[in-house]
Homo-oligomer: A and B are copies of this chain.
Amino acid sequence: MKIAVLGTGMVGQTIAGKLAELGHEVIMGTRDAEKAKSRKGTDAMGRPAVGDWLSMHPEIKLATLSEAAAAGEIIVNATSGFGTLDALGHAGSENLRNKVLIDIANPLDFSKGMPPTLWVCNTDSLGEQIQKAFPEAKVVKALNTMNAYLMVNPSLVPGDHSVFMSGNDAEAKKAVLGILASFGWKTENIIDLGDITTARGTEQMLPIWVRLMGVFGHPVFNFSIVKGTPAQR
């Protein structure tokens, strides 16, 4: 399948790399493809800059946001939350029409120092804002409650743990479920929360996620929803 991954940061690279490994035709989209290709070296975490990373992944194409979105049958939003609506505007509503748009971004505001706050929450969510701005896209919020490496490799955390989906379109959620399963997620650990307004719930898990990372000193953890049996009456 042709999949567009919008955003070339660590999250975009991780998702794009895994999708390509699974045999999909992956087109990454960015504002300025030439600038992205010119980025070399490694970051503070020892990860290659996107220019070098692309050289190591010749099977993955880099294009503008609108070219990538036009080519993709499924679109993954891996841009940073602050830039998402603008980036999707550049991608173009005509290129998102009737397509599954997997939103893995979070509305994190780092401008007021650490830990970040959310710039939209509680009575709204980034997922809903995207769905409202692009009503003909089939937005599915997913994977936004964990580290990128874990998104595509759930076995990094042992045992059962959970991934959530929020979206208005049942067929789109089926498609996302298939992609999650191909990443290694067990069906019983994929929780469909309901419509896109439930994205408020998953986006609001970020504040505790950030604190837990501080407590543990690393991001290799996940939320697991563990169920008991209700008492019979």
Contact = CB atoms under 8 A, between A and B. Distances in A.
Interface of A: 46, 117-118, 121-123, 150, 156-161, 164, 191-194, 198, 200-202, 204-205, 207-212, 214-231, 233
A216 B118 CA distance: 27
Contacts of A200: 207
A220 B224 contact: no
A46 B212 CA distance: 38
Task: Count identical subunits in the complex.
Answer: 2
26 contacts: A117-B122, A121-B121, A121-B122, A121-B204, A122-B122, A157-B227, A158-B226, A159-B226, A161-B224, A161-B226, A192-B215, A193-B208, A193-B212, A193-B215, A200-B207, A201-B210, A201-B211, A204-B204, A204-B205, A212-B225, A217-B230, A218-B230, A220-B227, A220-B231, A223-B224, A224-B225
